[in-house]
Amino acid sequence: MENIQSKDAQGRVADAPSGHWVYRLLPRPLWPYAQLARWDRPIGWWLLMWPCWWSAAMAASARAVPGAALIDVLPSPWHLLLFMVGAILMRGAGCTYNDIVDEDIDDKVARTRSRPLPSGKVTRRQAWGFLALQCLGGLLVLLQFNWFAVAVGAASLAVVAVYPFMKRFTDWPQLFLGLAFSWGAWMGWAAHFGALELAPALLYFGSILWVIGYDTIYAHQDKEDDALVGVRSTARLFGGRTKQWLIGLYGAALLFFFVAFANAAVPMPALAGLLAAGAHLWRQIRVLDIDDPDQCLRLFKSNSTVGWLIFLGLLGGGVWASISPNF
């Protein structure tokens, strides 16, 4: 791995990847804004997007009948594109807001002190302006959906607003991240039906548990620095019992997903994606070394594979419904 200090000399933050398009294509004055939005670390918007895509795919194949037209059992490509763009914009806005709130903490943590605000590459006023610009883009995306979905999306702002402060007051900031990052579980269903039912609620609860699990792994990278500056997390709370907690969190998440699929009556082949996701999550737990920061980051990033497996399973269920005369 490239020495992280050399990245600061290049105008990058300590844990940013090398060779990313941000540094190849964007003019150097724009680098700090790309870093505020974490454009050089796309895993965040992927993880924010997956509950949206799951919900959209689950809604499309809900209560599918044998021989249904393929277009009727697969999610709208337009909705999927909107969710992707919205996830990029709102994850960027959330990270920018988080950096504004956490500037004093980031300056005390080795991995984060080279971020644009604590390092002085941007001012707080510039950061607030960039935040407003991203939020405006997110609003334009949200307004493409039906008005019920717009209202559901707007309701997420309350959770997003309080999340950065939770690490100061509770050992469970990952729970509040889960509440925010799982909001898409409501959105896909609301965009498809213009209403909500039990199935997206079950998907939401399952996603919250999944987020707590993977962000606990992520938080183990910073546990020593967090202890020094007083930042609280489930990584510090669970400590050496992290694997046992992950078994419970991931296992319960999969159970919620299974019941959500059953409640929505999606075609049975969708369960293949859940089984594959379960196998992947079990591997995460089995190989996890909470004292290896590099491995923790790799395992955290591998949760996008979980997203793909569950989504492809739901797509497979929809395709199965369209080609099977009886299932």
pLDDT tens-digit map of 191-241:
999 999 999 999 999 999 999 999 999 999 988 877 877 889 999 999 999
Give mean pLDDT, residues 174-203: 97
Does position 5 have pLDDT exceeding 60, yes or no?
A: no
pLDDT at residue 143 is higher than 60:
yes
- From the CB of residue 251, how many other CB atoms can be counted at a distance below 10 Å? 16
- Has residue 223 been placed in a domain? yes
Q: Give how many domains the chain has, as a whole number.
A: 1
pLDDT surpassing 50 at residue 2? no
Handedness of CA 197, 198, 203, 209 (dihedral sign): positive
| pTM for this prediction | 0.91
Q: Are 309 and 273 in contact (CB under 8 A)?
A: yes
CATH number of the domain bearing residue 262: 1.10.357.140
**Which pLDDT belongs to residue 14?**
59
Domain membership of residue 66 as a residue range: 27-323
Question: What's the average model confidence in pLDDT over 105-124?
Answer: 83
The verdict on residue 136 lying in a domain is: yes
Please report whether residue 264 resides in a domain: yes
Q: Per the structure block, which two tokens stand in for 25?
A: 């294509």
**Residue pLDDT, tens place only, 67-94:** 778 888 899 999 999 999 999 999 999 9
Q: Is residue 180 part of a domain?
A: yes
22: tokens are 């941000």
Q: Is residue 252 part of a domain?
A: yes
Residue whose C-alpha is closest to residue 300's, from 279, 314, 284: 284
**What gap in Å lies between CA 126 and CA 56, rounded to an integer?**
36
Report the C-alpha gap between 197 and 110 in whole angstroms: 45
Interacting residues of 268 by C-beta distance below 8 A, sequence separation 6+:
317, 320, 327
Whether residue 3 lies inside any domain: the answer is no
Residues in CB range of 141: below 8 A, 6 or more apart: 82, 85, 86, 89
Residue in this structure with the two tokens 């009948």, named with its chain if needed: 65
Residue 324 has φ and ψ, to the nearest 5°, of: -100, 125
